[in-house]
Structure 1
Amino acid sequence: MEAVAASAVAVLGTLFGSALTYALQRRTVMRTERFTRSERLRQERIDAYSAFGGALANYRRGQLDLWFVKHVHGAESDVPEMRREAQRLRAAALEAMFRVQLVTEAADVVEAGRQAMRAIDRLSKAESRPELDRARDASRTLIYDFISTARPRAVVAENS
């Protein structure tokens, strides 16, 4: 009878040990998967935020180039080409903004990006050099504001 009891205890102990090992390993795997997913999202955010910041800077440069061709250089023949280039740069910035919207749930980041886009849109519409200078300063500030707003979201993934 003792041998049967000892065997039963050994079998139950083995089953309990196996179940406990399974539970602990499963928890470790889930934690690792959660960390990996969070890190991948963080990297995607960094990529999206920096790509959008760069696209905003390029679009801003294109708008300024267009303004100078129209108002300073007087090269009317270059205006259509510069306008197309500014439109291409705006499309690239919009594409980058859409990517930002896809990788973040932070409304303040998206709004900061939209404000920067609107400020850059206004550059080529400036009627005078002082007006352009104010719009240029505002657009630069809003690009930096976007990056400042996005930075904390890139350091730690949301909902992790």
Structure 2
Amino acid sequence: MQTAITSLIAIAGTLLGAAATYLFQGRAAKQARIEARDERLWQEQLAAYSAFAGAITSYRARENTYWFAKRDNPNGSTHISARSEAFAERATAKAALFRLRLLNPDPELSRLASEALEVTTAIHRAKDEPARAEQAERSQLALLAFVEAASNQVRARTSMHPTSESSASAS
């Protein structure tokens, strides 16, 4: 009888241990999935920020080229080509903006990105060279404001959630 009780206690202990292990492993797996998802989202956000900044930089260059081509020969093929290239770059910048908005939870960062696109679009509408130069400068400043805000967000997240690499290097 003593042996049967000991065996039942051993079986109960084993089952209890297995159940506890199952619960803890399930929680650990869920947490790992959440962390992996958050990391993928973070990497996508960083890529979106970078792609947007690059798209605006290219778009600004095309807008300036478009403005000069329009000034030099409004009916020429260079103007028509420059306009088409500027429109294509604008489409790329808008796509980058939409991706940024999909991935970014911060309305202020989204507002700054929209502003950078708007002021860049206005470059080709400038009436003369000083106005074009001023609008190009406004575009650069709007992009820098976006980049600074994105950089602050990156630094804030990095300080709140250090990666395993930075944790390992600190020890």
TM-score normalised by length of structure 2: 0.85
- Residue 14 of structure 2 corresponds to residue 14 of structure 1: yes
1:131 counterpart letter in structure 2: A
1:130: Cα distance to partner? 1.7
Q: Deviations over 1:85-116 (max 9, x none)?
A: 11011011111111111112211121111000
1:75: Cα distance to partner? 6.4
Q: Deviations over 1:50-81 (max 9, x none)?
A: 1111110111001001111222x346412111
Higher relative contact order (CA 8 A, sep 6+): 1
**2:105 aligned counterpart, secondary structure:** coil
Aligned partner of 2:141 in structure 1 is: 141
- Using the alignment, how far apart are the partners of 1:25 and 1:151 within structure 2? 36
Aligned partner of 1:91 in structure 2 is: 91
- Residue 100 of structure 2 corresponds to residue 100 of structure 1: yes
Structure 1 unaligned blocks of 5 or more: none
Aligned partner of 1:26 in structure 2 is: 26
Q: Deviations over 1:129-151 (max 9, x none)?
A: 22122211110011111122223
Aligned partner of 2:126 in structure 1 is: 126
- Residue 107 of structure 2 corresponds to residue 114 of structure 1: no
TM-score normalised by length of structure 1: 0.90
- Using the alignment, how far apart are the partners of 1:20 and 1:61 within structure 2? 62
How many residue pairs were aligned?
157
Structure 2 unaligned blocks of 5 or more: 162-171
- Using the alignment, how far apart are the partners of 1:30 and 1:64 within structure 2? 51
Structure 1 pair 152–36 and aligned structure 2 pair: CA distance change class (3 A): farther
1:153: Cα distance to partner? 4.1
Instruction: Write out aligned runs for 1:146-157 (5 A).
Output: 146-154=146-154, 156=157
Q: CA RMSD in A?
A: 1.8
After superposing on structure 2, the runs of 4+ consecutive aligned residues of structure 1 that deviate more than 3 Å are 73-76, 152-157
1:118 counterpart letter in structure 2: E
Aligned partner of 2:3 in structure 1 is: 3
1:105 counterpart letter in structure 2: P
Aligned partner of 1:68 in structure 2 is: 68
